[in-house]
């Protein structure tokens, strides 16, 4: 069982459904409507989808900057479990490889009925930077969707919990959850 005060979360692919957002922007802005979520089998989208790299970069930059005309939604069940966690402790910690905060903090505040000072988001700019932040914050468990990052976390002494996504379907030794209900069962409330 995971102590609620010892767990932190990634943002994209764990809390924010940025894969669906990517697909919605591709469809609305570029007329690309043939991609299905299960087609994104690599964290590096250009490795698995035949789309111009400039379009991919434009979409990713739009996501970071909040410059899109579709709705970013949370992963099913995330708001409920995160709210429960937020009510049971003084803060929720999110650590993301995003290079800057952008509008994601305001989005979180619009989704979670928690006080602003109970949500902390740390941007690292790199996947490798997550371990240092988590160690400084005394985090023992981290929910992550990028399999390569899970191996780095494990090396640093942090227990990763892999959030199942189409791009992380390789063999691995980590605890894996498919839904936020699965994750909730691992947390000792």
State yes or no: is 65 an active-site residue: no
Degrees (nearest 5) of the Cα angle 31, 165, 97? 85
Task: Provide CB contacts within 8 A for 86, sequence distance 6+.
Answer: 92, 112, 114, 118, 119
Distance CA 102, CA 76 (A): 23
132 in catalytic set? no
Residue 164 CA neighbour count, 13 Å, CB half: 13
**Looking at 12, 17, 24, 145, which residue is catalytic?**
12
Distance separating alpha carbons of residues 105 and 77, to the nearest angstrom: 19
Say how far apart CA 154 and CA 152 lie, in whole Å: 5
Which active-site residues does the annotation give? 10, 12
């Amino acid at each position: 069982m995971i102590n609620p005060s010892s767990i932190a979360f990634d943002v994209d692919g764990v809390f924010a459904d940025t894969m669906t957002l990517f697909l919605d922007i591709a469809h609305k802005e570029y007329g690309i409507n043939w991609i299905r979520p299960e087609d994104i089998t690599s964290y590096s989208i250009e490795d698995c989808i035949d789309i111009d790299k400039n379009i991919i970069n434009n979409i990713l930059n739009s996501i970071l900057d909040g410059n899109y005309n579709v709705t970013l939604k949370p992963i099913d069940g995330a708001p409920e479990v995160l709210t429960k966690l937020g009510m049971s402790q003084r803060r929720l910690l999110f650590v993301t490889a995003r290079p800057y905060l952008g509008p994601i903090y305001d989005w979180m505040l619009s989704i979670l009925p928690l006080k602003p000072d109970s949500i902390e988001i740390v941007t690292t700019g790199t996947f490798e930077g997550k371990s240092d932040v988590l160690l400084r914050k005394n985090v023992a468990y981290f929910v992550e969707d990028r399999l390569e990052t899970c191996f780095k976390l494990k090396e640093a002494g942090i227990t990763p919990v892999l959030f199942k996504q189409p791009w992380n379907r390789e063999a691995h030794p980590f605890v894996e959850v498919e839904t936020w209900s699965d994750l909730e069962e691992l947390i000792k409330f």
